[in-house]
Structure 1
Amino acid sequence: MTQSNAANKATGRRFRHATMRDLPQMQKIYARARALMVANGNPTQWGNEFPRESVIEDDIANQRTMLLVDTCNGHERILAQFALCPGKDPTYAKIDGAWLDNDTYVTIHRIAASGLVRHAARDCIRWALKHYGNVRADTHPNNKAMQHVLESSGFARCGLIQLLDRPVDTTRIAYQRHEW
């Protein structure tokens, strides 16, 4: 490998908490994710504005946002981001179906990849499983890409839930994986 090729090599994928300095780049990644959803037949899950800036800021302030990062050409890059929410999610209290169990869990919300590398969302899910063991998530019925990522990561489709924070387009497919 030549020296110039070595300098271009990305190194050290790792996870860290997001800070407010990351907000501009995170917003770009969320904008990319919204455009990708629209292009893939899922225009309403996040619409034009989700997640709202206030939600992202709250996630960061409360240490819920995790970033998958690496270093390329001496600069850190955000490869993917997600909110990891501990405690009972009120949206999950009522399900048309059944959760795997009623044990303590964490929820993955607002996952988005930058598009710089393949399988970044899957890496985020693996990290959450490794560190927390019992993980829930949900996605829109039209979000075939996220359904594939969850199902290929060993999540069970548990049923349907209804979002509590919006008046329309509330149905989501609920998933869970518990590392016993």
Structure 2
Amino acid sequence: MRDLPQMQTIYARARALMAANGNPTQWGTQFPRESVIIDDIANQRTMLLVDTIGGHERILAQFALCPGKDPTYASIDGAWLDNDTYVTIHRIASSGLVRHAARDCIKWALKHYGNVRADTHPNNKAMQHVLESSGFARCGLIQLVDRPTDTTRIAYQRHEW
């Protein structure tokens, strides 16, 4: 919880960056809400990539690592690579302090869990590039179930066999 203010700052930066790069609606001006971030922390889904400089720890990137079946992924216009157990990366954001921090988070998840899924907005070209350059396959389109509009997302998966 002590990292919550810094995490909120990183998410605010990510929202501004997405909007400036042609993706103003994926996270809008409010997502993820504080209650979502707190819920991720309380349920031990929050993952932080940190380093220490001069005795001061700083967050380089953050994401939610969600084990178990994601209900949003039950229906896909396309096909997943397999139906094996997987984890999902959600709400990934970089602080901008170092290059490739999001890629480092993804690499860590693959190393520790092997079968990883993620999704992103069709306008989020940066995240599409990160996922595809990290070896993820574009599996199809999914529809978010928790909002009334702007629901289409591109679904990705990588399974380390």
TM-score normalised by the chain length of structure 1: 0.89
Is there any run of 5+ residues in structure 2 with no aligned partner, and where?
Answer: none
Runs (5+) with no aligned partner, structure 1 = 1-19
* Alpha-carbon distance, 1:72 to partner: 1.1
Q: How many residues align?
A: 161
Distance 1:73 1:79 in 2: 15
SS at match of 1:45: coil
Deviations 1:77-102 (A, max 9, x none): 00000000000000000000000000
Aligned-residue CA RMSD in angstroms?
Answer: 0.3
1:114 lines up with 2:112 in the alignment:
no
Q: State the shift of 1:73 in Å.
A: 1.8
* Structure 1 outlier segments of 4+, above 4 Å: none
CA distance in 2, matches of 1:48, 1:164: 20
**Alpha-carbon distance in 2 for matches of 1:120, 1:168:** 30
**Structure 1 equivalent of residue 40 of structure 2:** 59
Normalising by structure 2, we get a TM-score of 1.00
User: Where do 1:25-40 residues align within 5 Å?
Assistant: 25-40=6-21
Between structure 1 and structure 2, the one with the greater Rg is 1
The offset of 1:124, in angstroms, is 0.1
Give the secondary structure class of the aligned counterpart of 1:36: helix
Deviations 1:105-124, CA, capped at 9 Å, x for gaps: 00000000000000000000
TM-aligned CA deviation for residue 55 of structure 1: 0.6
**Cα deviation code 1:27-85 (max 9, x no counterpart):** 00000000000000000000000001111000000100000000012100000000000
**Fraction of identical pairs, as percent:** 93
